[in-house]
Chain A
Amino acid sequence: MLCLLLGFSDPAIAKSGQQNRRVRGTVLSITDNTPLEGASVRIQGRGRSTITNSAGEFSLNGVRPNDILVIAHLGYTTQEYRLSGTQQVRILLVPSAEDLEEVVVVGYGTIAKSDFTGSSSRADMEGVEENRFTSPLEALQGRMAGVQVITNTGEAGGGITFNVRGVTSMSGGRPLIVVDGQPIESEYGATQAGMDLEATMTAIPMDPLAGLNPADIESIEVLKDASSIAIYGSRGADGVVLITTKSGRAGKDRISYTSRLDYNTMPKYLDVLNSREYMLRTNEARENMGLTPTYTEEQIENPEVDVNWQREVLQNRYSHNQQLTVSGRDDRTRYMLSGNFSDQNSMIKNRGFDRYSLRANYQRNVSDKFIVSLNANMAMMNRQFGLQSNAGAIPNSSVVMTSLMWAPNRRAYDEEGEIDDQFANNPLLISEIVKDHSRVRQTTANATLRYNFNRNLWYTLKVGVNDNYTLRNVYHPRGTLAGDAANGVAVRGDNWNTNYLVDNLLNFNKVLYKKHRINAVGGFSYQFWDYKSSSMTARDFPSDALGYYNFRIANAPGIMRTVYQERALQSVLARGNYAYDRRYLLTLTGRADGSSRLAAGRKWGSFYSLGLGWNLHNESFFKADFVNELKLRGSYGVTGMERIAIGATQATFTYNMVNVGDVIIPGYVQSDFDNPYPTWESTTQANVGMDVELWKNRLAFSVDLYRKRTTDLLHNLQLPPSATYSSYPVNMGEVLNEGIDIEGNLSDILRGKSPVKWNAGFNLSVLRNEMVHVGVLEALYGQHYFAGGGMLLGQPVHTAVPGGPLPSFWGYKTNGIYQNADEIAAGPEASTARPGDVRWVDVNGDGQITDDDKTIIGNPFPDFTYGFNTNLAYKRFTLSMAFMGSQGNQLLNMNSWILEANSITNAFTSTSRAYEGAWRGEGTSNKYPRLTNDSPRLSGRFPDWMVEDASFFRMQSLVLGYTFHLPQYLGASSLRAYVSGTNLFTITKYSGLDPAINAFGHSVLNSGVDLGTLPQPRTYSVGFEWTF
């Protein structure tokens, strides 16, 4: 935040209102008040100009009131200054981004980049609104080293997996998000409404940051190492993201209107069977099992119905985004007002996401000493949710899953052209008649009072509120599975999360005796959260006409469930940064946090870090002129995490309904026992890095090596059923993340004289994640999939074992298909297997296939990820491109469990490759088994071949723009028009719809699954920006 940027004007010393007077002034650097020599000063639009002398002074004749001075100096941001009768001016220039004195946004302040000992990445968000990115996090994909961003699904506003330097924690690993100094709610629960819902009603979480309009954001700084994070103590272990929103720029007030039209297309459809193939398959399976065929030859050869459900339900859609911004700045006030409307239609019919947001950023220098500011964002979002992944139950209510798996010989429409409601969960019915609407209201506002005791010391009081309200309404009418059973069922759930923040900070910034530069901050912080939610399910409606609008008419109006919880965090924090002669750097940081959620006596934790740096290029012995910067730095420190359930340390009950006498009443059952032990999870991180800038900044890069050790992992440990409790919070286990982050930029590659300006950026991350130990256990396991029904799997497919990553995929190894009786006789399933069955590997060699043969069959971690982007400007043309990729990551293709197991139970279809590749006699196949009607399918064993290589290379964005200069009389100063593409192509071997998704991204231990997950759309956009 360049909040120091001020142009102080001295009192007028000459008469005003006269024409053609002389103006005199001084140009100074804002960082240390040194005079700037050689700055050019010209009068805008009049061609008169001059240059400052060695004392930074200038003078110009013939100025008029209201003339605008334009002051430029190499390495500083060009500034405009409106004269208002003043004859003597003093102008402070701010170092430009390319300058050595660039500042880095850090926790509770800024620091000169040359003095920074930590490791962070910065993304300039200029122009992100020209691509289809709903959430600011999406725009970070592939942009930073060590920062993994995966859009969990292709749903606009959907959840996003966001990891900084690996996965440290079992409980989610969401980095702390700080917007304009205010930590905001970024947990998935923030926008989830409705409790204890049936599986058909549970919605996967949306992105809690979707309320932030990317176009309002100036830059995003991701803090990665202990030196930069420790100031956030207990909240920093998973990384800290500092978001700085835009504010007015100097010069005249600016109004801009931006409009973008998107065409979102399905990047791919799965190749599934047509009706004829489907019927042949059914008959073949039945024949294999000695059963009579279901379909006659006549039916097969002349199918009455042949539906491609994917194309019925998943469609290309138009979306658009509108934005109006007014901003400005003068010597005492800066402001920005922006309004945004983003209407994103999902590729699922009738589903989508839209956002209305309003931001007001305002700052006023009441006096030289007293500054007030307000940053407020209000967002309203509508989410029409189309159920996707659903691990627990029969996946029939998932509109994506049903469209993938539904048999092609069931008709979509009846004779009258109406959607056929004769079978429940016709995917079209689900998308047409199920209503699932969430409205989310988010307010983030903070007011800051700053008092400058002098230029070096100031006090800041920040008071903020972050209020998130979600109201979800669902109605399943008759014609759906849930609706038929209940004669219509409606759910109304809300969730109101509010948190309040008070920060008291004292900052000190001074150069002492020329060589000792001190930048220090200390303070207290208090944050309080409350969570209120309620949920009600009503059933048995006389008619579907009123949907969820009237619960009173339901014959079974339901019981209201409520949650009312609160928690608090108190903190004391301090950081001191000391630079000696711009050569030797030291940063000491400490924070103590007290959390209400932890056990009594263990509530307070202390966190600290040490950072050291050496600016080699400032040493006298350093002679290489082409090196502008060479900094070596290192840091070490401890941060924490306290993310456990409220009340987890106390004995509590939950309830379960019971029949006693002739009533159904809640019986209290145990849910938690007294647990005096939970305390902080702590992450110790060491980082060594190097920053290099060469050839006047033409090439800049940094390399970081880190090692993060997280101990006392705080998580809800799953207990064996015989413990009589399902889980309890423990501090157990240790995770290691180590890796290399490389980031670089090439600026002005073709040198200043070329008409073509060309910049490029690149990054590479290598990460190794290891679960070092898991406490008393041998391993941890993920959730169970398909608890019932014909697809029953009923077991976890994720594990975390010592020495392996967190998590690994867990299942059975296979070795092709049994081709003949001899092979079976020699194998471990001699009495049960038949030719054409999967040949499971007897891993433990005990002569039989049992649960003990389950083993690790892959993991979701890439070997490395990378990204690069490039910007070209030629005259008024601009062209920018961004690419990203991931190598060596795997996805567990859970769709295969339904579509490729070659079992016809439940009458679901199959992929063509599984059907065509089915075993049909010796030597015909060594991967896909023979067709059967087996239940459980594949003997209830999850095979290794359903884990697939999901390495990919993606062209993430392309923008081609042209700026028109408009004649004055149009009133507009410029018009920029562009065409852009988002997710234009993906090169991958992965057989599913999208290799870069993560169905259960909100749960670390269940990472890397594709299960009825909507792919990222391929988007083509056109847009313009009209600036006045």
Chain B
Amino acid sequence: MDILIIKLLIKMKKITIFFTGLALMWMAAACSLDERILDTPGPVQVTSDQELLPLINGLYSRFNDANAFKFRGWLMLTLCADDFYSVAANEFQPFANRTYGGPNVSHFYNSLYLAVGAANQLIGILDKVGDKLTPELVSRAYGEAYFVRAFSYYYLVRLYGGVPLRISPVNADSDMYLPRASIHEVYEQIFADFREASLRLPQASELPVSELGRATKGAAQAIVAQAYLTYGNQRSLRGMDPTQQYEEAVLFADSVIHSGQYQLIPNYADIFDINKEVDAYKEVIFGIRFQADPMAILLGSAGSEYAFRFGNSNTHFVSGNANNGQGDGSVRPMHWMADYYLNHNDYVHPTQGIRDYRHEVTFVTRGYNSTNDRYVVPYPFLPTTQENPIVFPLLAKYQDPNGRDHRNNGNDFFVIRFSEMYFILVEALNELHGGPTYNYKGQQLFWWFNRVRARAQLADGTSRNRPFLINNSNSPGMTQDEFRMRIFHERGLELLGEGQRWFDLVRMRHPSDPTKTMYEYQLVEELTKSTYPKDAPTYTRSSNSYSNSFYVYEPSLNVSVPKHLLFPIPIEEMVRNPNFGEQNPRW
């Protein structure tokens, strides 16, 4: 049949030639089928130093997302411990009431893995094109990729336990379905990556302000010190020898302390002053940066929402909320925690009264309500007759009256501060050497511990004598277990609302049972006692007093161990990864 057509075509002479020519012309117009991508960058385009920078920035870009430290991940870190609660509905309630499940905890998991992916991919690109770029820049880029990968896995392993360990760039031939690794394997990778990072990253003093938020040598060393301590704790809880890990923790903490790169900012209040944020980075070793974002709003913005969440509806000018800059009070410190600053059972001391002036910086002492032009005074402070009480405490560390909208403020999330280096050092040495009188570099552990307290005494800029410095004379015979408790509480007081408490609870040892965690002690044993009432205090104007103190939000005690020592593996991982393995215990 085709032959027939061709024969006919041949007969058609001129007109045929014309049309065939026309057809061929159109065919020629049909250009190649090679795919051209015009609007999307690809790794092939990384050919110069300048083109590497967006990739490096990309490493950090997942952390300020709403799924991570901006909101959903932050909720996990903040509401699941024993020091904050929420009576708000929506996404707060499941955490505050311990009714969360796989769907609630998936966002942070996804974000952290996306950061791991960015790090792996950058390493892959550097392996390929690194020799064409400036060596110093390449070295630092490797360092940042290792840092971000280690940082992400460090959060993953603490929140979710052993997770699949992906440490090479993914391509079409990769095994997409890795089984979960043990926590030991994950920690080994974390240590290796942080060590590699610390060899390549610049010192904090070499970091220009325009690069604030990027990793430094100190950041790698500080976090790895904490990671060693954490892993040591985990080994200890499992009956394994933690000595080597504690020693590494001491080594890295000491290295940061003596690096000369950081200091304890003299005035504790300045750390949290939004207008002095850049200066705060003299103490803040690593932070997740947020800025009021003019280009996006709410959840999608690059601003943080801590100011709004910790603020309250009748304290105005604390956030960028269009409505008088008020907060929504959805995340509140527990009353018992606020009271603990005032009345904690630190050591037997004859005098009564305020135990720790850090509370003046940590909690809102007085707020302004512009609607009725009145000042409000939150618990546990007492209002004057001109002022209205707020019957619960409010955290004061995050405030930004210049934010763009309520979920779009400038407050950073401080991942690790210099003061914590002393805690890590002291805690690891206490575990290794059995008590606060152990002498490290010519000083007892008491002395190292008191570095942070001495600064706390400057909470309002002038030196006062609270909190007391503890020593062998006012705390004679303090045991290792007692000193651990003291460190635990001191961390709580110094770092309230900075995302450390839940980790402390699940890693540190129960004061009397080496197989249990501080989580069980605090949430199952301590806070359930009758000394912690379950009815919120009420205020009486006539006596200007609260009806009770040390109130604990009861739904937060809805705990189950070991279930709540880890978050569940999110449903996306469980249903899409047939090789993953077992879900976490009891989930």
Is B240 in contact with chain A by the CB < 8 A criterion? Answer: no
Report the nearest A residue to B2, measured CB to CB.
Answer: A522
- Of the listed stretches A56-64, A97-105, A409-417, A594-602, chain B binds A594-602
Taken residue by residue from 458 to 489, chain A's Cβ proximity to chain B (1 for < 8 Å, 0 otherwise) reads as: 01010000000000000000000010111101
Q: How far is the CB of B172 from chain A (nearest CB, A)?
A: 4
Q: Are B40 and A647 closer than 8 Å at their CB atoms?
A: yes
- Of the listed stretches B76-84, B259-267, B285-293, chain A binds B285-293
Q: How far is the CB of B99 from chain A (nearest CB, A)?
A: 7
Q: Are B106 and A524 closer than 8 Å at their CB atoms?
A: no
Q: Which residues of A contact B16 (CB under 8 A)?
A: 453
Is A659 in contact with chain B by the CB < 8 A criterion? Answer: yes
Is B171 in contact with chain A by the CB < 8 A criterion? Answer: yes
Q: Are B90 and A485 closer than 8 Å at their CB atoms?
A: no
Q: Which residues of A contact B572 (CB under 8 A)?
A: 718, 720-721
Taken residue by residue from 30 to 48, chain B's Cβ proximity to chain A (1 for < 8 Å, 0 otherwise) reads as: 1101111111111110000
Taken residue by residue from 555 to 593, chain A's Cβ proximity to chain B (1 for < 8 Å, 0 otherwise) reads as: 110110011111110100000100000000000000000
Q: Are B31 and A487 closer than 8 Å at their CB atoms?
A: no
Which of the residues A526, A650, A933 comes within 8 Å of B30, measured between beta carbons? A526
Q: Are A667 and B60 closer than 8 Å at their CB atoms?
A: yes
Is A542 in contact with chain B by the CB < 8 A criterion? Answer: no
Q: Which residues of A contact B60 (CB under 8 A)?
A: 658, 660, 667
Q: Are B104 and A485 closer than 8 Å at their CB atoms?
A: no
Is A695 in contact with chain B by the CB < 8 A criterion? Answer: no
Is B135 in contact with chain A by the CB < 8 A criterion? Answer: no
A652 and B55 CA atoms in complex are apart in Å by 12
Contacts known (A508-B5, A657-B61); A794 close to B406, Cβ less than 8 A: no
Report the nearest A residue to B213, measured CB to CB.
Answer: A660
Taken residue by residue from 643 to 679, chain A's Cβ proximity to chain B (1 for < 8 Å, 0 otherwise) reads as: 0001101111111111111111111111101111100
Which of the residues A459, A487, A603 comes within 8 Å of B33, measured between beta carbons? A603
Q: Are B322 and A484 closer than 8 Å at their CB atoms?
A: yes
Q: Are B113 and A674 closer than 8 Å at their CB atoms?
A: no
Is A935 in contact with chain B by the CB < 8 A criterion? Answer: yes
Is B164 in contact with chain A by the CB < 8 A criterion? Answer: yes
Output the residue of B34, B57, B59, B110 with the most chain A CB within 10 A. B57
Is A451 in contact with chain B by the CB < 8 A criterion? Answer: yes
Is A18 in contact with chain B by the CB < 8 A criterion? Answer: no
Q: Are A668 and B54 closer than 8 Å at their CB atoms?
A: yes
Q: Which residues of B contact A576 (CB under 8 A)?
A: 1
A487 and B121 CA atoms in complex are apart in Å by 39
Q: Are A659 and B172 closer than 8 Å at their CB atoms?
A: no
Is A851 in contact with chain B by the CB < 8 A criterion? Answer: yes
Q: Are B302 and A658 closer than 8 Å at their CB atoms?
A: yes
A777 and B580 CA atoms in complex are apart in Å by 12
Taken residue by residue from 184 to 214, chain A's Cβ proximity to chain B (1 for < 8 Å, 0 otherwise) reads as: 0000000000000010000000000000000
Q: Are B118 and A502 closer than 8 Å at their CB atoms?
A: no
A933 and B99 CA atoms in complex are apart in Å by 13
A658 and B65 CA atoms in complex are apart in Å by 9
Which of the residues B117, B164, B208 comes within 8 Å of A725, measured between beta carbons? B117
Q: Which residues of B contact A933 (CB under 8 A)?
A: 89
Q: How far is the CB of B21 from chain A (nearest CB, A)?
A: 11
Contacts known (A485-B405, A935-B89); A795 close to B177, Cβ less than 8 A: no
Q: Are A935 and B101 closer than 8 Å at their CB atoms?
A: no
Q: Are A647 and B35 closer than 8 Å at their CB atoms?
A: yes
A662 and B290 CA atoms in complex are apart in Å by 9
Which of the residues A520, A524, A562 comes within 8 Å of B5, measured between beta carbons? A520
Chain A stretch 342-376: residues in CB contact (< 8 A) with chain B: none
Q: Are A485 and B406 closer than 8 Å at their CB atoms?
A: yes
What is the number of residues of chain A that contact chain B, defined by CB distance less than 8 Å? 108
Q: Which residues of B contact A776 (CB under 8 A)?
A: 177, 578
Is B103 in contact with chain A by the CB < 8 A criterion? Answer: yes
Output the residue of B4, B9, B64, B90 with the most chain A CB within 10 A. B90
Q: Which residues of B contact A558 (CB under 8 A)?
A: 295
Is B566 in contact with chain A by the CB < 8 A criterion? Answer: no
Chain A stretch 503-538: residues in CB contact (< 8 A) with chain B: 504, 506, 508, 518, 520, 522, 524, 526, 528, 537
Q: Which residues of B contact A482 (CB under 8 A)?
A: 297-298
Chain B stretch 179-211: residues in CB contact (< 8 A) with chain A: 208-211
Contacts known (A565-B39, A669-B118, A936-B104); A457 close to B5, Cβ less than 8 A: yes
Is B570 in contact with chain A by the CB < 8 A criterion? Answer: yes
Is A905 in contact with chain B by the CB < 8 A criterion? Answer: yes
Taken residue by residue from 11 to 31, chain B's Cβ proximity to chain A (1 for < 8 Å, 0 otherwise) reads as: 010011001001100110111
A597 and B27 CA atoms in complex are apart in Å by 19
A565 and B39 CA atoms in complex are apart in Å by 7
Report the nearest B residue to A533, measured CB to CB.
Answer: B39
Q: Are A721 and B573 closer than 8 Å at their CB atoms?
A: yes
A564 and B169 CA atoms in complex are apart in Å by 28
Q: How far is the CB of A209 from chain B (nearest CB, A)?
A: 27
Is B561 in contact with chain A by the CB < 8 A criterion? Answer: no
Q: Are A504 and B39 closer than 8 Å at their CB atoms?
A: no
Which of the residues A508, A518, A570, A664 comes within 8 Å of B293, measured between beta carbons? A664
Is A539 in contact with chain B by the CB < 8 A criterion? Answer: yes
Which of the residues B8, B12, B30, B575 comes within 8 Å of A568, measured between beta carbons? B30
Output the residue of A565, A663, A668 with the most chain B CB within 10 A. A668
Which of the residues B9, B99, B109, B297 comes within 8 Å of A939, measured between beta carbons? B99
Contacts known (A669-B62, A669-B118, A724-B116); A662 close to B35, Cβ less than 8 A: no
Q: Are B578 and A778 closer than 8 Å at their CB atoms?
A: yes
A789 and B295 CA atoms in complex are apart in Å by 24
Q: Which residues of B contact A653 (CB under 8 A)?
A: 40-43, 54-55, 58
A731 and B208 CA atoms in complex are apart in Å by 48
Q: Are A936 and B99 closer than 8 Å at their CB atoms?
A: yes
Q: How far is the CB of A524 from chain B (nearest CB, A)?
A: 6
Q: Are A795 and B103 closer than 8 Å at their CB atoms?
A: yes
Q: Are A570 and B37 closer than 8 Å at their CB atoms?
A: no
Which of the residues B42, B102, B291, B405 comes within 8 Å of A795, measured between beta carbons? B102
A198 and B301 CA atoms in complex are apart in Å by 11
Which of the residues B59, B102, B177, B298 comes within 8 Å of A485, measured between beta carbons? B298
Report the nearest A residue to B96, measured CB to CB.
Answer: A935
Q: Are A660 and B295 closer than 8 Å at their CB atoms?
A: no
Is B484 in contact with chain A by the CB < 8 A criterion? Answer: no
Q: Which residues of B contact A520 (CB under 8 A)?
A: 1, 5
Q: Which residues of B contact A905 (CB under 8 A)?
A: 89-90, 93
Q: Are B29 and A502 closer than 8 Å at their CB atoms?
A: yes
Is A877 in contact with chain B by the CB < 8 A criterion? Answer: no
Q: How far is the CB of B63 from chain A (nearest CB, A)?
A: 8
Which of the residues A459, A508, A594, A796 comes within 8 Å of B19, measured between beta carbons? A459
Report the nearest B residue to A727, measured CB to CB.
Answer: B576
Is B510 in contact with chain A by the CB < 8 A criterion? Answer: no
Q: Which residues of B contact A487 (CB under 8 A)?
A: 322
Q: How far is the CB of A894 from chain B (nearest CB, A)?
A: 15
Is B440 in contact with chain A by the CB < 8 A criterion? Answer: no
Q: Which residues of A contact B56 (CB under 8 A)?
A: 667
Q: Are A668 and B57 closer than 8 Å at their CB atoms?
A: yes
Report the nearest B residue to A728, measured CB to CB.
Answer: B172
Is B176 in contact with chain A by the CB < 8 A criterion? Answer: yes
Output the residue of B36, B172, B587 with the most chain A CB within 10 A. B172
Of all A-B residue pairs in the complex, the 4 with the closest CB atoms, nearest first, are A724-B117, A794-B103, A667-B58, A667-B57
A residues sitting closer than 8 Å to B (CB atoms) are 198, 451, 453, 457, 459, 461, 482, 484-487, 489, 502, 504, 506, 508, 518, 520, 522, 524, 526, 528, 537, 539-540, 555-556, 558-559, 562-568, 570, 576, 594-597, 600, 603, 646-647, 649-671, 673-677, 718-725, 728, 776-779, 781, 784, 787-790, 792-796, 850-851, 905-906, 933-936, 939-940
List 24 A-B pairs, Cβ < 8 Å: A486-B297, A502-B30, A506-B9, A539-B295, A556-B294, A559-B295, A562-B39, A576-B1, A596-B33, A647-B37, A652-B40, A652-B42, A653-B58, A660-B60, A660-B210, A664-B295, A667-B58, A669-B117, A670-B121, A673-B121, A724-B166, A792-B91, A792-B104, A939-B101
Additional pairs, 8, CB under 8 Å, beyond known A198-B299, A666-B57, A669-B114:
A566-B38, A596-B34, A596-B35, A600-B34, A664-B291, A722-B163, A723-B170, A933-B89
